Structures are given as structure tokens and as C-alpha cells.
Amino acid sequence: MFSALSGSVALLGLVVSSTVGAVQQSFSVGANAFASYDAGLFSPMEDMNLLSTAEFTTLSHPFFPKYNVRIKKSDFCDGTVGAFTGYIDIEARHLFFYFFESRSEPDKDDVIFWTNGGPGCSSSVGLFMELGPCRVNDVHNVTFNPYSWNEKANIFFIDQPIGVGFSYADHGEAVGTTEEGAKDIAAFVAIFFEHFSSFKGRPFHMAGESYGGRYVPAFASAVYDQNAKLVAADMTPINLVSAMIGNGCTDLKTMIPSYYEMQCQPKSVAPVVDVSACVLTKQSLARCEKWLQAACYDTTDAINCQAAATFCSAAVEAPLWSAGYNPYDLTMPCTREELYDSLCYPVTKKIGSFLDRSDIRKTIGVDPSLTANFSTCNGDVTRQFRFNLDQFFPSQLYIGALLERGVRVLIYVGANDWICNWVGNERMTLELEWTGQNEFVSKPLRDWKIGDRAVGVTRSAGPLTFATIAGAGHMAPYDKGEESLELVKRWLANEQL
């Protein structure tokens, strides 16, 4: 899930900080770590089948002295493949993750990393509602998902940053920017691959949804940059092949004007906002864009940026709330009360109830200190990111840099989404500065098909692909499981859509 501006949707928070984003912190390793590693003191775990179902096994690596990974077998959800859960421990901070082996060839298939957005929403939404091996329909009703992405890949789901889902900190520590979180993710990936060496060299894909449009470019860049340090230490680099962003909000400058287009023009559905409101929005849009540019991008005037965001929300977004439509799917009604209660999807509350079951928590190894009811999204985390103006960081710059280094990037969008819609995403890809920009822009949109059935449109040049999924909303794998899985399978196989 994602909330764009102050005053927009359930998880927003106020923009009140005087800093924009953060400079990505380099990963430093002490001399003792190098000495220990060179001395052959590291013993990899190697075989995941040796892990216990009763207790955690702790993995460490001398190259990452501040990090440990606790992991255990947690045979649940799929039933046909190995399932594992655990924590990434960064001193007093602990990130919870799930890992499922591929249903096809787990010893050969690619590896996918998945995160949901928010910022502050748990990847349990992706796991139990969208693309995971099982669907939670009710507290005691869990069914096999035939369209899970582990059909052809091994896959991680992670609750990040600290405070999201079952992730927690011992002493109130918090992560407030995407770049802070990126170095933890990069370290975890390296430790996992070092211990379970059968995954070394496998194609690795970083994927996410919604605010994942901000997360994934930064996380993938951190993994890529860390590779140079791994090579210098005679370790195997991560074979980062691609980044996949589903219904992402990567660049607010291209997304905000698209809100007007999606609600007032027949871009995916007939206009859902009345004529008078559309006229007022159109009149205000230029002022909104100019103010955001001046206050949120050209300077770091956080108070003025907050004011600009509040104005834009009232002028551009508020008409949709008044119209009573689901911001994640314009074909569905949704009241403000339903939005705040369940994000317009009652199944999210059922997932929470499922994860509150004591037997489930015991099976997956949730820390016993976490006694509060499960929350799909954490508003405190959202507010901290908003406080730091994290959503205004131009994450498309990471995408351009990854493309220049041969990392493939897939931008896919459920066509009925409003909050991180296809119009804004297409505009972002067309305006993206990289050496293949002219070729990409010159390509027309064309249908992509399953058999003879058109299921969306696509444009591709070199390592960059843009694609829509017709009839899907913000959580495209939930709405169109077959089409989403087919898209991913073709992407993993590097086949043209």
C-alpha cells in the first residue's frame, strides 16, 4: 500500500522535517573481519534441510560483524515445498522474513526478494493475499495458491523496516529512510547466499509493490554496490539480474498530475469525479506542481514542502475521496471508513487474525515478546518516513543507474489502480534519463497476450520493460493471478512479453 501526500489515505503522516532523504551509507568492514574470513574461520551452513523446526539456527559471517540471521524450518502455507522463517538481527534491531522454495526446481531456479510498501506495511499482504504460496481467506481457512510466484522461483518475503509486521527493536530504535534500510537488506542477502552456497550465482531479482517503487531501486543499488566489497574480500558477488516494481510510486512529480487524468479522463475507466470538481482540480494542478518543485525538490524547506503537499492533496486527491471510490481499484466503491479500517479489502483484517493465532506464531517463530495484535501497517513508521520527506527522493535516478549497469528493470501496473497508476508510471519510464531513452520512447505500446487473449499493453527497449495488466488494481497478483504469474515467468526466462 502507499499514501502519496499529507492528508491523502489511511497511512500518511505529516511532512515536518528539514531533511530530504539521506545519503546512502557505505558498508564498512573492520580489519578483524577480513582477518577472520581469510583465516578460514567461516563455516557455511550449506544445507537448508539441516535446519530445525523446533528452534532457530543462528548464522553469522565475519564480513558482517554486526549482523546475524536466525532461521528455522516452518513447514506451513504451501505444503509442497520447504518453508523457512526467521529474523535478521542487526544488534538491537530484528527484521522478520519468510522464505519458500520453488515448486519447480528449487536447486536451480532463480531467487526473488519481495517487499510490500506503505511505507510501513507488512509483506504478509503480498504473501497471504497476492503472490505467496497460500491465500488466507479467513482465520482458519487457508487455501493453496496455484498462481504463486514460487511456481518458478525461490522467494523471500520480508517485513521491513523495523516496526513493520513481526519486525521489532529492543530499545526503540527506528529506521526513517529507505537508504538506511537498504544496507541492512544488502547485508542479509549476502549472509544468506554465503551460508547456503547452492544459491550462489543464481539470478537474483529484487521486487516490490507500491512504496516498493521507492524501496526496490535503492535496495537493488545497495546490493549492486556491495558486490565490489564482496569481490575484494574473495567472496561471491550476488548475481543481481533485475528489479521488478509493481504498481510503484517512484517519482511523485510524474505521478501527481496523473491523479487528475485517472479520475477525470477515461484512462482506464469512465471519469469517476464530477465535472465541477475536475475543473477546479485542473485549475489548481499547475500551482500544485510548481509549489512542490520549489519546496520539496529545489530546496529542503520542509515546512513549506508540507504546506505544498497539503495543498496538492486538497486540490488533486480529495475529489476522489469525496466520490467514494477505492483508490487501489477505481472499479470498486470504498468509503473513507472502510479505507481506514481495512484498506478497502476486508481480507487484510482476516490475515491479521490468522497471524494472531498462537499456533501460527509458534510455528513461524514469532518472538514471544510480541504480544500485541498483528497490524497490517504501522502508522508510526509511515510518519517517520514522512518526517524525513523520504517519498520525495527521486528514486528513478537509481533505476537509470541500474539500467546503465545492465540490470533489467520491469515496471508493471494493474490498469485500474489510482494511487500508483499506469499513467504516472508510463510517464516516469518515458522521462527516465539513460542511454536507451530514445529507443524506449520510440517504441509504441503494443498488446501482450496469453494465447490469443490480450491481457495488457507493453513497451520495451534493452533492459527496460513497461507493462500493464488489464482488469487489475493496485494488488495486481490478487486481482489477476494467472496474468501476473505469466508476466513474471516470462520475465524470469528473459522472454519477450
Candidate list 210, 258, 268, 313, residue with the active-site label: 210
Tell me which amino acid residue 312 is: C
Does the annotation count 94 as an active-site position? no
Candidate list 61, 195, 205, 474, residue with the active-site label: 474
Residues contacting residue 136 through CB under 8 Å, at least 6 positions apart: 128, 129, 142, 347, 350, 351, 354
From residue 271, alpha-carbon distances to 264, 277, 331 in Å are: 5, 11, 11
> Following DSSP, what letter does each residue of 371-388 receive, concatenated?
-SPP-SB-HHHHHHHHHT
210, 61 contact by CB (below 8 A):
no
Cell numbers at 451, concatenated: 494465447
Candidate list 159, 417, 479, 484, residue with the active-site label: 417
Segment (H or E) for 349: helix 347-355
Q: Please count the residues of the chain.
A: 497
Among candidate residues 405, 410, 375, 428, the one with its CA nearest the CA of residue 489? 410
CA distance 167 to 171: 13
Cα 171–chain centre separation: 26
CA distance 5 to 331: 22
Segment (H or E) for 296: none
Backbone dihedral angles phi then psi of residue 380, each to the nearest 5 degrees: -65, -40
151, 51 contact by CB (below 8 A):
no
DSSP percent split of the chain into helix, strand, coil, nearest 5? 40, 20, 40
Helices (H), 93-211: 124-125, 178-195
CA distance 241 to 493: 11
Residues contacting residue 132 through CB under 8 Å, at least 6 positions apart: 77, 98, 100, 126, 145, 148, 149, 150, 155, 157
> Following DSSP, what letter does each residue of 249-263 receive, concatenated?
---HHHHHHHHHHHH
Q: Residue 243 pairs with which residues in a beta bridge?
A: 206, 409
Cell numbers at 488, concatenated: 513474471
Residue 495: CB atoms within 10 A of its CB come to 8
Cell numbers at 27, concatenated: 558498508
- Sole residue written with cell 521488478: 244
The catalytic residue positions are 210, 417, 474
